C-alpha cells in the first residue's frame, strides 16, 4: 500500500467510515490466494498467510480507489462468514 492510500484509509477509519469486508483465503498449491466476495475481481496471492492478508488489504484499498475514480459507489459489505460442523 502506498503512503497516500494508507493516509486515506486512516482518515476514513478516523471519521468512522471504515468498512469491514469478508475475505476468503485458500491454500493454492505452494501458496495462498484470497478474494473478497463483495468486491468481484478483488484478489491477491502470497507465499504465506501473512503475505496474502497484507496483499488482499492492499487490493481492497486499490479496488475501492478505482471505483471512486470511476464514480461508482463502493458496494456495502454484505457477505457473512460462518462455519458448519459436519460429523465425519
CA 71, chain centre distance (Å) = 20
pTM, rounded to two decimals: 0.77
C-alpha cell at 31: 501458496
Minimal CA–CA distance to 52: which of 81, 25, 85? 25
Tens-binned pLDDT, residue by residue, of the chain (88 aa): 444 544 444 444 445 678 999 999 999 999 999 999 999 999 999 999 999 999 999 999 999 999 999 999 999 999 999 999 999 8
Question: CA 46 from chain center: how many Å?
Answer: 14
Domains annotated on the chain, with CATH: 20-74 (3.30.160.250)
Q: Of 21, 20, 48, 18, which is closest to residue 33 (Cα–Cα)?
A: 48
- Longest CA–CA span in the chain (Å) reads 49
Amino acid at each position: 500500500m502506498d503512503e497516500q492510500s494508507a493516509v486515506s484509509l486512516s482518515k476514513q477509519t478516523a471519521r468512522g467510515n471504515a468498512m469491514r469486508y469478508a475475505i476468503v483465503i485458500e491454500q493454492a498449491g505452494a501458496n495462498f490466494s484470497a478474494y473478497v466476495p463483495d468486491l468481484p475481481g478483488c484478489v491477491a496471492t502470497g507465499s504465506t498467510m501473512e503475505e496474502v492478508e497484507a496483499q488482499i488489504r492492499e487490493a481492497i484499498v486499490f479496488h475501492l480507489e478505482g471505483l471512486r475514480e470511476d464514480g461508482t459507489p463502493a458496494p456495502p459489505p454484505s457477505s457473512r462468514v460462518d462455519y458448519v460442523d459436519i460429523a465425519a
